[in-house]
Structure formats: structure tokens, C-alpha cells
Amino acid sequence: MNPATIHLTCEQCSRPVTGTTGAVRVYDDDLASAEAAHTAHAAAREAAVAILSPLRLDGAADEFLRPPAPARWQVEHDRCAPTASPAYVIPASHLGSTRDVLAASIALMAEPWIGRTDWTEFVRRHCLGPVPSPTEDEK
């Protein structure tokens, strides 16, 4: 397998998504949920820091506040995609190689909401492959 080639698999039917058969999408509803979760997390963090700061425990806020879940980029055939409204669509034909993913990443960096999505994880999974778990490293 050429590491520069990206292999996309439909999350609905588990078959390969190639050429013009599908796309990678992030949906409006998921983005709105991620944005709301981010806002709630920021407010909770601010309140926690206000309580913990006099105790000199500012850093502890991040230890008990779980980070908000990001909106997921989903790989789907066009025929398998839900009818939900996508916020952003990248045709599979534009994500055929690691170079294509780099170009898409550069374009996405201009989007103010990109940090509320799991694009970093998508790139890692499709360009670098599975990351070994710490227990496997220790063997």
C-alpha cells in the first residue's frame, strides 16, 4: 500500500469510497452541538477557575472538566449519506492522497469552526494510520 494514497471507507456500508462516489462531510447539527458544548465548557472552566484560583489550584480545572466532544467528519457514499444538512463537504476525489489532505487542511484552517471538529483525528487516522496504544509501546 502506498502510504501517500488515502483509502476512504463509507461509515454507512463499509465499502470503499472512491472518485466521485462520495465525500467527507461535517454536518450543521453536529457543528452546532460541538459549538454549544465548547461554549458550555468555557463557562464551566471559567467558574471552576474562579473557585480554584484563590486556592492556587487553577490548573486543576482542566483535570476534572472533560473537553467538549468535537463534531465528527464522516466518510460516506453520496447514496448512503443522511439527508441532514452538511456544513462542509469535501468530495472523495479531492482526498486521494496525503498531499490532497494537506491541501484540504490548509483550506480548512481559514474556517473559524475547524477547531470544533475532529479534523486533526481524521488526518491522523488517514495519513498516519493507527496510533499504537501506550501498552503496545511498552511491550
Which of 12, 93, 97, 105 is the binder for Zn ion (CB under 5 A)?
A: 12
Q: How far apart are CA 25 and CA 35, in angstroms?
A: 17
Q: What residues between 68 and 87 interact with Zn ion by CB under 5 A?
A: 77, 80
**Of residues 18 and 120, the one with the C-beta less far from Zn ion:** 18
Q: How far apart are CA 44 and CA 40, in angstroms?
A: 6
**Of residues 8 and 123, the one with the C-beta less far from Zn ion:** 8
> To which H or E segment does residue 88 belong?
strand 86-91
**Of residues 6 and 10, the one with the C-beta less far from Zn ion:** 10
Written as nine digits, the cell of 100 is: 490532497
Site residues, Zn ion (CB under 5 A): 10, 12-13, 77, 80
